[in-house]
């Protein structure tokens, strides 16, 4: 049986791609079945158009889990967009090292490094949402349209706004704990197929009683 995750264009059009199959940057890791849809630009250029200020000198990673849905125009903003606030000036002198007689090895002092962006599994990121550096988004979370996420998002939370704030939880805490323990996104392909009805209809109790 052919597993569709191995293709680039799962829907047969050229607007939606499985990201794992088009990303080449070693500092970007994407899980199985995660897709990106772009009806404006070429979705295969995700690294160029959507992962911004992601320079190798900072050694930051973008880690995206399995079964995530990323809508058109979502952006991931890294450290080099974040001029340091420890200086008296916001001007990034170290990136113009020759002009100011500075040592190029200190270029990272131009920015306040807040670290990796980590997206869990089964996360839905809405249209033109922005995820800032250092943020971790938990499994099953939903990021609203044009939200700007500056802080960590708990598992199965729905957030929106600028800056993004929690609107509500998708499930009660007991169900969230069950889903976290279940981790269905790590199941093999055939097991997921067997339980698609339960997953799609929200029958978590049917799965846990397997």
The domains of the chain, with CATH numbers, are 4-170 (2.160.10.10), 172-210 (no CATH)
pLDDT, residue 117, reads: 98
Which residues are CB-neighbours of 31 under 8 A, at least 6 positions away? 20, 64, 65, 66, 67, 68, 121, 185
Which residues are catalytic, by number? 83
pLDDT along the chain (210 residues), means of 10: 68 93 96 97 97 93 98 96 91 92 90 94 98 98 98 98 98 95 95 92 78
Report the sign of the C-alpha dihedral through residues 31, 32, 38, 41, in that order: positive
Residue 1, pLDDT score:
37
The pLDDT, as a whole number, for residue 3 is 53
0.85 exceeded by pTM: yes
């Amino acid at each position: 049986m052919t597993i569709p995750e191995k293709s680039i264009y799962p829907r047969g059009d050229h607007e939606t791609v499985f990201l794992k199959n088009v990303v080449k940057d070693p500092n970007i890791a994407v899980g199985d079945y995660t897709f990106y849809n772009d009806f404006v630009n070429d979705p295969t250029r995700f690294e160029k158009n959507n992962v911004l200020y992601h320079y190798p000198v900072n050694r930051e990673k973008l880690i995206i889990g399995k079964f995530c849905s990323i809508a058109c125009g979502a952006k991931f903003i890294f450290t080099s967009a974040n001029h340091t606030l420890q200086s008296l000036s916001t001007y990034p002198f170290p990136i113009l090292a020759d002009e100011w007689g500075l040592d190029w090895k200190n270029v990272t002092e131009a920015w306040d490094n807040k670290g990796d962006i980590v997206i869990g599994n089964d996360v839905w990121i809405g249209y033109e949402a922005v995820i800032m550096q250092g943020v971790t988004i938990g499994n099953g979370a939903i990021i609203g349209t044009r939200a700007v996420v500056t802080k960590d998002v708990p598992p199965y939370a729905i957030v929106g706004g600028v800056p993004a704030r929690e609107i509500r939880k998708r499930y009660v805490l007991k169900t969230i704990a069950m889903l976290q323990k279940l981790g269905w996104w790590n199941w093999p392909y055939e097991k997921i197929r067997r339980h698609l009805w339960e997953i799609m209809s929200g029958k978590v109790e049917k799965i846990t009683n397997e």
